[in-house]
Amino acid sequence: MKAECQCGQLSVRLPGPTPAVVACHCVACQRRSGSPFGVLAYYAADEVSIEGETKRFERPTDAGNRFETFFCPNCGSTVYAKTAKHPTMIGVAVGAIADPAFQAPVRSVWEQSMHKWVSIPGDVQHFPKGRGSG
């Protein structure tokens, strides 16, 4: 199983499915992803392997941490992200995995800025902001 950018230059090989899938409706994730919400699947950084060139963008979070996104310098797709809050984890963009059978989100955060037509179905934990603090 792997995640890759539009042009295929940047890819992340994954060990398989993960239950740790989070939908985030914060405005920064809307802008990062170009979609009404972002969905990341979290893995331990040492269980994935990254191939290709990346560019990195770093921004502060509301909780005072730093959030880094890594994207393909050629086609601009965000393929993965890291947060200083969980330095051993990597969040892989679920859209880059492009598998319709991939695990649905178990957590939906920053619903205070969720688009009105969106609902995340199933057995999901809902948070108006981040979990504890975003």
What is the closest distance, in whole angstroms, from the C-beta atom of residue 104 to Zn ion in the complex? 17
Distance separating alpha carbons of residues 10 and 13, to the nearest angstrom: 10
Q: Structure tokens of 77?
A: 């797709």
Among 1, 75, 98, 118, binds Zn ion (CB under 5 A): 75
Site for Zn ion in 10-29 (CB under 5 A): 24, 26, 29
Helix (H, G, I), strand (E, B) or coil at 117: coil
Among 65, 74, 103, 113, binds Zn ion (CB under 5 A): 74
Q: 134 Cβ partners below 8 Å, 6+ apart?
A: 24, 26, 61, 62, 63, 109, 110
Is position 72 an interface residue for Zn ion (rule: CB under 5 A)? yes
Is position 98 an interface residue for Zn ion (rule: CB under 5 A)? no
The binding site for Zn ion (CB under 5 A) comprises 5, 7, 9, 24, 26, 29, 72, 74-75
